[in-house]
A and B are shown apart, each in its own frame.
Chain A
Amino acid sequence: MNENREHSSEEVKEDEVWLLRLYIAGQTPKSVKAIANLHAICETHLAGKYEIEIIDLMKNPQMGRNDQILAIPTLIRKLPPPLVKIIGDLSHTERVLVGLSIDHK
């Protein structure tokens, strides 16, 4: 089953859209670092098929509730399903790639 999915995802890889949402709280060093790291990873591994949405909870505090945000920064993979959460400043690229299930070989 899993194998099948992997295969099919690889087949439709070209038209797949990666919707990523990053929650931050103000322009803290951690947030800035996370944004930079995220952009770098996406450019390297998902060039052309990703979309990044950055939500600042300082400005929209009510937004945190829906996605169950506790830690800052938190990255959420909205698409493709399933939903995945990665917390931290994304400085460990390898782990981010594993967390997001991005094929990086």
Chain B
Amino acid sequence: MTTIDYSSPIGKVLRKCPTGIQGLDEVTFGGLPLGRTALVCGAAGCGKTLLAMQFLVNGAMLYDEPGVFMSFEENETELAENFASLGVDLNALVLQKKISLDYVHLDKSEIAETGEYDLDGLFIRLDYAISSTGAKRVVLDTIEALFAGLSNVLILRAELRRLFRWLKDRGVTTIVTGEQGSGTLTRHGIEEYVSDCVILLDHKVVDQISTRRLRIAKYRGSAHGTNEYPFLIDEQGICIMPITSVGLNASTSTARISSGVGRLDTMLGGQGFYVGSSILISGTAGTGKTSLAASTVDAACRRGERCLYFAFEESRSQIVRNMKSIGIDLEQWISQGILQFHASRPTLFGLEMHLVSMYKKVNEFKSQIVVLDPISNLTASGNFADVKLMITRMLDFLKNQNITLLLLDLSSVNSIEQTGIGISSLTDTWITLRDIELNGERNRGLYLLKSRGMAHSNQIREFVLTDHGIELLDVYTGPEGILTGSARYAQVEKEKTQRLVRQQEIERKRREIDRKRQQMEATIAKLKVAFEAEKDELEKTIIQEEAQVRIQDNNREQLAIMRKADDMEQPYSWDGK
């Protein structure tokens, strides 16, 4: 179940007894000191008995180590009821001899003290319980009740010292609980007898919100986490989140996932987000942050990935209904069990508790995508620094698990490029949704401010919610500036008209050319006709002239004949031949 790291630079190290309590074994690097006594102390109602009970139950059920629960405060019936709240049937465990219960009743009014005594009776009872079950674990809850029942403190202190020595000698791992005193760890100072391990539980209330914390105040012979770790008590008992500061050594993935919006993927280097990256979606109210996150979730569920949606503002059904209006059906994924919603007001409990409960749910659900909607609301249960710290821890935790995280942040109008809690530098991708106000209307613009490790677009896109999801449109950029919405539409129309007019102009000019050509051709034809006419005339005169020439020649011959001129065969020639 739990891996125990025995490795240490020094040869033989303290052996440990795993508690099986989520997170506690990590914080203590393996569990409680084996065969020794640990003191769990804290104020009333901070979970001491529960921790001790879980230690025993886990021992009996997970590690096959029977245990003895010696209670000085609650009787067997009450204890069985308490265990039942953890889903454990105590009576069955008792019947199987895995747990032995012993209720020590002590009432000062029934007891008179005369002379010397010791607590052998207690030792014998404990010894009998241990040997009859073969117990390896013992809980004494809370031994300080002895101080209320017996008045001889000197005897009592000596006997307690003997008891802890004796328990150590028996080799059982023991938890003793103690109520916190003023200025001391426990009311009667029993911490001075328990020197091996001291665990402090605390229940702080800050601004009316309570947070449970656990701290290892002392762990002799072992390294341990020294911070105050927040913890959660729920139906499975105690859960501690040991992630105050994890090293920045998460392995990174080069795999990519779609954002669910085609054009956004294109903007993100063509492939979408990196798996395991953290994505910040910020924007003013009503800019569509939830819709964008829902698209991504929808796309992930479509791929069969498991998603967890932590909503701090809207209820599950409200988100589902609203997303349906833009054509995203989240209900189907919920019923298939791959999408889980957890809606709670941030003020339900402190930040730490939110963190622990998220940690727990992420672990249980094994989700691949986590959405926090919105983180800015968390400041309702903590100040900015606390929220930032919490988000950092959540981020580190998810990064280590290679889980993609979507953070939604409501930014204020006057500081849009600045998240309320200053975490933008921690995230890998930052998308801002912004209202672009123009001509008396608001339209949504999507800006990709940064996206580590990919060549991303620097273009502003208009973000339009349609009844079939999100669409990104190019914004109009032209001589008249950036236009969106109906202004963009109007501008596009205007340009269309302008183009039409120009087209017509061109057509007109083309026709003009045609006409000119026709004109020209007509003129040519006319000239041709005139030319032909003149030509005919001239040719006619030429023929006439020629005819006249011929007639003249004929006439000459005739004359010659008549004159009985020389050989007719020899034409007249001027050279006398």
- Find out whether the CB atom of B114 lies under 8 angstroms from the CB atom of A89: yes
Contact of A72 among B104, B106, B117 (CB under 8 A): B117
A87 is an interface residue with CB less than 8 A from chain B: yes
- Find out whether the CB atom of A88 lies under 8 angstroms from the CB atom of B116: yes
A84 to B109, CA, bound (A): 9
Chain B residues with CB below 8 A from A87, complex form = 111-114, 117, 150
Q: Using CB atoms, name the residue of chain A closest to B106.
A: A70
Bin chain A's interface residue count: 20 to 34
- Find out whether the CB atom of B125 lies under 8 angstroms from the CB atom of A65: yes
A38 to B363, CA, bound (A): 65
Q: In the assembled complex, how far is the CB of residue B110 from the closest CB belonging to chain A, in whole angstroms?
A: 5
Chain B residues with CB below 8 A from A37, complex form = 115
- Find out whether the CB atom of B112 lies under 8 angstroms from the CB atom of A85: yes
Contact of A69 among B113, B116, B121, B146 (CB under 8 A): B121
Chain B residues with CB below 8 A from A86, complex form = 111-114
Contact of B114 among A28, A83, A92 (CB under 8 A): A92
Chain A residues with CB below 8 A from B117, complex form = 30, 71-74, 87-89
Chain B residues with CB below 8 A from A70, complex form = 104, 106, 119, 121-122, 125, 146, 149-150
Bin chain B's interface residue count: 20 to 34
B78 is an interface residue with CB less than 8 A from chain A: no
Contact of A25 among B111, B115, B121, B146 (CB under 8 A): B121
Given A58-B124, A61-B127: A72 and B118 interface contact (C-beta under 8 Å): yes
A35 is an interface residue with CB less than 8 A from chain B: no
Chain B residues with CB below 8 A from A64, complex form = 121, 124-125, 128
B105 is an interface residue with CB less than 8 A from chain A: yes
- Find out whether the CB atom of A96 lies under 8 angstroms from the CB atom of B121: no
Chain A residues with CB below 8 A from B196, complex form = none
Q: In the assembled complex, how far is the CB of residue A20 from the closest CB belonging to chain B, in whole angstroms?
A: 13
A25 to B125, CA, bound (A): 11
Q: In the assembled complex, how far is the CB of residue A41 from the closest CB belonging to chain B, in whole angstroms?
A: 10
B557 is an interface residue with CB less than 8 A from chain A: no
Chain A residues with CB below 8 A from B128, complex form = 61-62, 64-65
Interface string of A54-70 (1 = CB under 8 A from B): 00011001101100111
A98 is an interface residue with CB less than 8 A from chain B: yes
8 CB contacts below 8 A, A to B, read A68-B104, A71-B118, A72-B121, A86-B111, A87-B113, A90-B115, A95-B112, A96-B112
